[in-house]
Structure formats: structure tokens, C-alpha cells
């Protein structure tokens, strides 16, 4: 069955029933023990690999019969025998990765990516429904239950769309009881309208990219505006730093929950009520972090590597999505058996370098600048090893003591080897995919 959520409402209804059945089945998995979840993941991984070896020329040689018949009990041991998959490899081997067999319809997706380079992939329709279900389960951990009245402050595709398309989009969102506000179109002149829309719509839940909701929160606090308090705010698409969470919570008067996902897999993990780490959908995805040598690590920062256990249309096995994180061996006191991501640390390029050899992690600047009230928003760009440029949007003039403090802290970590120039700007440009990057290293 072909599914087009926008052009076919009947299919949408069928899809919704299917989605609900999948959601119930995923909810069931939440009652398993951690050991049972590991076993389930391992068997699903093997099934995926058997399918990939049989139908995908790319994996035919890569996945050996010995591996498929191996006695590895852990998914990570099994996966360690397989190479990593990158965006470049996918693009170069696209036809041999795609699986087209009977009764399986693929959906094509593309993403601008933070590098601005377009990237395409596919997934089969059944896995599309499954990932929707998994998303709802994860949102449930964060306090957003399926069907609750929600407002999305989200990037809406740019470009001119016809009236017919707009009506269909509206129907589609109404079906899921949600309203979309285009975060790309928000600016300092129309923020009042956004506040008005929230107050009129009275959402139970707000889902947003980190940066737009943060900007709106600052606007609400600066202007002492009355905003209707939702039950929860869920953020996604960008790492949520603690100082940002505090500002949003203060402005809206509710808990802000972090979620993590990417276009290739949809929702990967979500915070529970503990607000301390994100539970991973480990019965649907295998999430690993790998160190510089490509070894799977836990409790230390590494590159995120993901295997989608259900994308039978284009198996993505050990796909490196470009983000960095720390996986945790900790058990969450909430009782949810799904493993934890301790922290999403962002993209690898977020780190900056200095001539003395030190590496400043992406978190350095948010920490340094969190108490400087004059700075509303900032972005640090490194074009040359000796120099960094910091663009700042100011709430009020930046004092000399604040400037000195920033310089001193920077000197402390780089032995004074980095020159800092501060540029006062009206606006910080977003990436092609509408995300805000705190630091960009072009070295």
C-alpha cells in the first residue's frame, strides 16, 4: 500500500490505526527487563542483517555467514565486526543499498544537513509507521501523550506552496491535534504575534527547536509578558544546554524536556521526568558511541553510530550521523528499562582549536557566557587557528568588565594564544536546515 499522508485522508485513517497498534506493541516493550531488551535487540539486529545480506548488494560481502551464526550475545559485539557507514558511503553506493522487493514500498527522504550538502536516503513504509510509533512512545516519556493538544514551533519548508497544499497540510496537522508555527519566519518584529498565537491556541504541549523557543522565552522575560503555561515543553533538533533550559522554564513556568532525533531515524531518545539523561529507543535502534579508533565506548564522549533495526528498505547499519554524545551505564531511577544517553554534546565541529594545542569543547562558550546578561545570543566561528570571531546579539551594551572576563577565561584555557574579536550583530544566521550552531570550526 502506498501512503501519502497529505493527499489521502482515507489512507491517513488506516495509517493512524496501524500506528496505534504499533504504539501499543512498543509500549509493551517498556515492561521488559533490561536483559530481555538486550536479547530482543540482538535478535532484531540479526534479522535485519540476514535481510540486508540477502537483498542488498552492498551488504552481501560485508556480512559474513560466520557473523550471522556467531554466538555474540551483545549487539555491540556483533556490530563491532561491521564497518561504519557514512553519508559519503551512502551517496556513493546508493543503488546497492536500496532494497526493492515485493510488497515493500520505499519512501524517499532528503535533508539539507548542517553542512548544507543535500543528502538522500529511503525507508520502507512499514518502518515509517514504526518510527512514528516509537516517536510517540518517547514523547510519552517526556510527558507528551499521543493526541494531546500541541503547538509546534518548528521549521516549516520554505518556498511557495499552493493553496491546495496548505489546506491539506492543515488537515493533516489537525488530524494529530497540532498547530504549526513556522520558526524560520520568527523575528524580533513579529514575536508578539507568536506569543498571541500561543495564548489563543492554549496548547497543552509545545514542541520546538531549542533556539526559537529560547529566543521567545527571552522576549517574554524581557517584556514581562503573560504567557499561558503549557504542561510541558519538548525541545529537539539541537542540543539543549542547562542554561537554556533554565531560561525557557522560567519564561513558560513549566518543565522543559529534552529529546534527541535526526531526520534519518526520527526520535532516538527522550528525557523522562527525572530530566537527567535521555532514554534510548533500544528495541528500535541500536545506538553506539565510538572513539577515535572506532571502538564502541560507554561513559565517555564519542561519535554517535546508529543502526535502524526496522528500515528494511535501505538498511542503515552503523550509520555515523555526525553528532557526539556520552552513553551512560547508569540505571534511571524512574524504572524505565531503556538505556540512557547521558548527554548529547553536539556536532564534532563544535570544538575549537588553539595554537597551543588545546581544544575548547562546544560547551565552553555557553558556560562562559551564561551569566553575562548583556548577551542574548551568540555564535563563535573559527576561520583561522590563531583567531576566533564571536558574533553577539545584545540585550544592552556589553560592559568592559564583561569583555575582560571573556578574554581572561579564554586566555586561561589557551595560554593567550587565541585572538578574540567580538562582532555586534542584529541576528545570527541559521544553518540550511534551520538549526542554530553555537560554534563553527572551519579548520
Q: How far is the CB of 341 from Zn ion (least distance, A)?
A: 11
- Between CA 92 and CA 105 the distance in angstroms is 22
Q: How far is the CB of 277 from Zn ion (least distance, A)?
A: 7
The site for Zn ion (CB under 5 A) is made up of 272, 274, 332, 334, 336
Q: How far is the CB of 240 from Zn ion (least distance, A)?
A: 16
Compare residues 298 and 368 and give the one whose CB is closer to Zn ion: 298
Q: How far is the CB of 276 from Zn ion (least distance, A)?
A: 8
Q: How far is the CB of 268 from Zn ion (least distance, A)?
A: 15
Within 10 angstroms of residue 243's Cβ, the number of other Cβ atoms is 13
Write the Ramachandran bin of 247: left for phi over 0, alpha for psi from -120 to 50, otherwise beta. alpha
SS3 per residue for the chain: CCCCCCCCHHHHHHHHHHHHHHHHHHHHHCCCCHHHHHHHHHHHHHHHHHHHHHHCHHHHHHCCHHHHCCCCCCHHHHHCCCCCECHHHHHHCHHHHCCCCCCCCEEEEEECCCCCCCEEEEEEHHHHHHHHHHHHHHHHHCCCCCCCCEEEEECCCCCCCCHHHHHHHHHHHHHCCEEEEEHHHCCCCCHHHHHHHHHHHCCCEEEEEHHHHHHHHHHHHHCCCCCCCCCEEEEECCCCCHHHHHHHHHHHCCEEEEEEEECCCEEEEEECCCCCCEEECCCCEEEEEECCCCCEECCCEEEEEEEECCCCCCCCCCEEEEEEEEEECCCCCCCCCCCEEEEEEEEHHHCEECCCCCEECCCHHHHHHCCCCCEEEEEEEEEECCEEEEEEEECCCCCHHHHHHHHHHHHHHHCCCCEEEEEECCCCCCCCCCCCCCEEECC
Compare residues 271 and 350 and give the one whose CB is closer to Zn ion: 271
Amino acid at each position: 500500500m502506498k501512503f501519502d499522508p497529505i493527499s489521502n485522508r482515507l489512507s491517513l485513517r488506516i495509517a493512524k490505526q496501524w500506528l496505534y497498534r504499533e504504539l501499543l506493541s512498543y509500549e509493551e516493550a517498556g515492561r521488559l527487563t533490561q536483559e530481555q531488551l538486550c536479547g530482543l535487540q540482538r535478535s532484531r539486529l540479526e534479522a535485519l542483517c540476514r535481510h540486508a545480506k540477502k537483498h542488498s548488494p552492498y551488504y552481501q560481502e560485508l556480512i559474513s555467514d560466520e557473523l550471522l551464526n556467531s554466538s555474540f550475545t551483545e549487539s555491540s559485539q556483533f556490530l563491532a565486526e561491521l564497518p561504519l557507514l557514512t553519508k559519503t558511503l551512502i551517496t556513493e553506493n546508493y543503488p546497492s543499498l536500496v532494497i526493492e522487493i515485493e510488497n515493500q514500498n520505499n519512501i524517499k527522504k532528503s535533508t539539507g544537513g548542517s553542512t548544507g550538502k543535500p543528502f538522500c536516503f529511503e525507508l520502507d513504509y512499514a518502518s515509517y509507521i514504526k518510527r512514528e510509533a516509537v516517536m510517540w512512545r518517547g514523547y510519552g516519556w517526556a510527558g507528551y501523550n499521543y493526541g494531546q493538544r500541541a503547538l509546534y514551533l518548528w521549521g516549516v519548508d520554505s518556498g511557495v506552496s499552493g493553496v491546495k497544499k496548505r489546506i491539506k497540510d492543515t488537515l493533516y496537522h489537525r488530524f494529530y491535534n497540532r498547530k504549526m508555527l513556522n520558526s524560520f519566519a520568527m523575528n524580533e518584529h513579529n514575536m508578539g504575534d507568536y506569543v498571541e498565537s500561543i495564548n489563543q491556541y492554549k496548547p497543552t504541549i509545545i514542541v520546538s527547536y531549542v533556539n526559537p523557543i529560547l529566543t521567545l522565552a527571552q522576549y517574554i522575560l524581557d517584556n514581562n509578558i503573560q504567557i499561558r503555561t503549557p504542561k510541558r515543553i519538548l525541545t529537539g533538533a539541537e542540543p539543549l544546554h542547562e542554561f537554556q533550559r533554565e531560561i525557557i522554564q522560567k519564561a513558560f513556568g513549566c518543565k522543559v524536556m529534552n529529546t534527541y532525533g535526526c531526520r534519518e531515524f526520527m526520535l532516538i531518545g527522550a528525557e523522562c521526568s527525572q530530566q537527567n539523561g535521555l532514554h534510548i529507543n533500544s528495541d528500535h535502534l541500536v545506538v553506539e558511541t565510538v572513539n577515535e579508533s572506532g571502538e564502541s565506548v560507554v561513559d565517555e564522549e564519542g561519535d554517535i553510530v546508529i543502526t535502524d533495526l526496522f528500515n528494511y528498505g535501505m538498511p542503515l547499519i552503523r550509520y555515523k550521523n555526525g553528532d557526539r554524545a556520552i552513553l551512560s551505564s547508569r540505571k534511571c531511577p524512574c524504572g524505565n528499562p531503556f538505556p540512557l544517553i547521558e548527554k548529547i554534546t553536539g556536532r564534532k565541529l563544535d570544538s575549537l582549536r588553539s595554537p597551543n594545542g588545546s581544544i575548547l569543547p562546544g560547551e565552553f562558550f555557553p558556560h562562559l557566557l551564561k551569566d553575562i546578561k548583556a548577551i542574548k545570543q551568540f555564535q563563535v566561528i573559527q576561520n583561522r587557528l590563531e583567531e576566533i570571531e564571536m558574533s553577539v546579539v545584545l540585550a544592552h551594551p556589553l560592559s568592559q568588565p564583561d569583555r575582560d572576563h571573556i578574554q581572561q577565561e579564554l586566555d586561561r584555557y589557551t595560554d593567550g594564544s587565541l585572538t578574540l574579536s567580538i562582532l555586534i550583530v542584529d541576528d545570527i544566521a541559521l544553518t540550511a536546515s534551520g538549526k542554530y550552531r553555537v560554534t563553527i570550526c572551519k579548520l
